[in-house]
Amino acid sequence: MMIEKMLKVLLLCGSAFVPASVAFAQPASFALTVLDGRTAAATGPDGRNISELSGLAWDADDKLLYAVSDDGVLHHFRVEIEGGRIAGMEPVFSVRLATGTTPAFVNAEGLAVVNGDNGTPSDGELLIAFEDGPAIHRFKPDGTAIAAVPLPDALSDAARYNEPNSRLEAVAATQDHGIVTAPEEAMQGQPGDAHTIYGLDGGRWTFATFQPKRSNLKAIETMPGGQLLVLERTRESKGGPTAGRLRIVDPEGCTGETCTAIDLDAGSNTLLNDNFEGLARISDTLYLAVTDKTKKETPATQFVLFSLTGPQ
């Protein structure tokens, strides 16, 4: 199984989402198109609140979209996409994560599926990154804990992070580098205007933040060509409105650990001007993003569908 291969590697090693007022060059090799938005239901079938969603993942074999909230609730959605539109987004299951004998971490932030597209239904596992660990744990889709994922020393020591709310924020399961993860901001001793993605096989990929300040890494998703799609959340000013930025990092195109991120331009579509935190690839070209909203905030939690094609 893919998860076993990834964990073997670990043991051996011990957007853009852009407000209309901002414009920058669109790379000729990629095309980003915002297609549709849909407001999430306020509650799941058992009455649990659907709010503060911070991680998304798509299980192609079981046709389920998973979402995890800051307070550790896992949601399942049945999604219908027709003609480039979100025709349906039905919550079908919600459960609080059961960590068993592991610490009851909160602030679940990153989410990924392993074995979600291997052609075998019902064998998927979830990887969830917890900011309050820092930690990454394996879960069954029903919310039952399986085991902790071993982290390298650079990530497991909470004292190496600049502050508690800037620890592990994103996780992805890649074909070429196994599990990768990233903190929200640079760690102690690193430049504050750079992000680093860490491969748990020992790889590192560092790139400049979208802007020098108030540019937080929120999600990582895989792309069909092996690149990584990165979501950053920015504020133009302290306390100001947030915007998401979609960027592409190609680990194979980096010089050593130094990479250049490609900034994608969503044009003037206002659907993307919000506090986006979760990201999931639905197909080779279709992706979903979700906002992190409390139950009291308006507008409510929003899913946005977009396409990303390239190279042309």
- What are 19-57's pLDDT values in tens digits? 333 333 444 479 999 999 999 999 999 899 999 999 999
Give how far Cα 280 sits from Cα of 4, 169, 211, 222, Å. 22, 15, 24, 9
Q: Indicate which CATH number applies to the domain containing 102.
A: 2.120.10
Q: Which of 87-101, 176-190, 243-257 has the lowest mean pLDDT?
A: 87-101
- In degrees, rounded to 5, the angle at the alpha carbon of residue 160 between the alpha carbons of residues 155 and 161 is 85
Q: Which of 118-127, 177-186, 297-306 has the lowest mean pLDDT?
A: 297-306
143 backbone dihedrals φ, ψ, rounded to 5°: 95, 0
Domain count, the chain: 1
Give CB contacts under 8 A, 24+ apart, made by 20-28. Answer: 20/267, 20/268, 20/269, 20/270, 20/273, 22/243, 23/265, 24/263, 24/265, 25/263, 25/265, 26/264, 26/265, 27/248, 27/262, 27/263, 27/264, 27/310, 28/312
- What are 119-173's pLDDT values in tens digits? 999 999 999 999 988 999 999 999 999 999 999 998 999 999 998 889 999 999 9
Question: Residue 2 pLDDT > 70, yes or no?
Answer: no
Question: Residue 256 pLDDT > 80, yes or no?
Answer: yes
When pLDDT is averaged across residues 216-235 and rounded to a whole number, the result is 96
| Structural domain harbouring 250 | 2-14+20-309
- Supply the pLDDT for residue 98: 81
Under 8 Å between Cβ of 88 and 73: no
Amino acid sitting at position 182? A
When pLDDT is averaged across residues 230-234 and rounded to a whole number, the result is 95
User: What percentage of the chain exceeds 90 in pLDDT?
Assistant: 74
